[in-house]
Structure 1
Amino acid sequence: MFVARSLTLLKLQPVAAFFLPLIAHCGMSSEAFVNLPEVDIDPDGRFKYILIRATDTKTKEKKMIVRGYKWAAFHADIFEDVEKKVHGTGVDVWCVGGGRILHTSQDKKLAVFGYSQGYGKADHTISVGLLKKVYPDYTITCSDEGY
């Protein structure tokens, strides 16, 4: 009986060797997804921003992220930059809308407003919630006014 069990275990070792790494990662988010900052915006100025839904392709876990930069002529420029950065990392991104941010670091103020002609208006309340996590000592406002 001991010999039969040993032979069965020996037969299962190649199968276990194949599946154990897969099982070990099951339910764990990719490193790229975990390390994806919720907020990345310029330290000062008025600029376009987008709200993005990021999805871990393995676990299907989702999170919202904010990106905003002065260098972007269009909201799509920001999205293309994010797409390039996450390409091949196991993270999918989808732009859910955009707007503008006025960042006045000297006064510790952020104003979120406006919309994107290409992506539509972001849900500014979600964006403000994410910004408050990164800038807890700032006064952060949002408005649907302006472009």
Structure 2
Amino acid sequence: MSIKEVPDVEIDDSGIFKYVLIKATDKDNQSKNIVRGNASAEYHANVFEKTEKELKKKGISTECLGGGRIERNGNVISVYGHSIGYGKADHEVTVSILKKAFPSSKLTWSNEGY
């Protein structure tokens, strides 16, 4: 599988949930950062390990670059906080990825909160 086929963003439609920023690399050593998050995950590791397992089957290696939380309410998306296990993701990078996926949404980020 080519890195181009990996979706940039897979997050829940609404709510407050944990997310991770992941560097995904294909067999041709092409890479990109992707965002994954969902409310069913108790820990950031649950989000990362699920993605890692799915992409490994397709020949894509992964590295967790950190985590935080996303609050999504309609067209308003806020990125903040950190992961105890992985540290704080670069929320500015996360928001730039989310802007491509949700161009009509209002996106903000903060280093505050958990």
Alignment TM class, shorter chain as reference: over 0.9
Secondary structure at the residue paired with 1:146? Answer: coil
Which structure has the bigger radius of gyration?
Answer: 1
Structure 1 residue 34, shift from structure 2 partner: 2.1
The residue number in structure 1 matching 2:69 is: 100
Higher relative contact order (CA 8 A, sep 6+): 2
Q: Determine which structure has the larger helix proportion and give its number.
A: 1
Aligned to 1:118: 85
Per the alignment, residue 44 of structure 2 pairs with 75
Q: Which residue of 1 aligns with 2:98?
A: 131
Q: 1:8-51: per-residue Cα shift (whole Å, max 9, x none)?
A: xxxxxxxxxxxxxxxxxxxxxx34x2211000000000000000
Give the length in aligned residue pairs.
114
The CA deviation at 1:83 is 1.3
Instruction: Work out which of the residue numbers 91, 111, 114 in structure 2 matches 1:144.
Output: 111
| Stretches of structure 1 lacking an aligned partner (at least 5 in a row) | 1-29
Pairing of 1:12-23 with structure 2 (within 5 A): none
Q: Are residues 1:109 and 2:82 paired?
A: no
Amino acid corresponding to residue 41 of structure 2 in structure 1: A
Name the SS for the 1:112 alignment partner: strand
Q: Which runs of 4+ in 1 moved over 2 A?
A: none
Structure richer in strand, relative to its length: 2
Give CA-to-partner distance per residue, 1:28-77, whole Å, 9 cap, x none. Answer: xx34x221100000000000000000001x21111000001000000000
1:43 counterpart = 2:43? no
Whole-angstrom distance in 1 between the partners of 2:19 and 2:12: 10
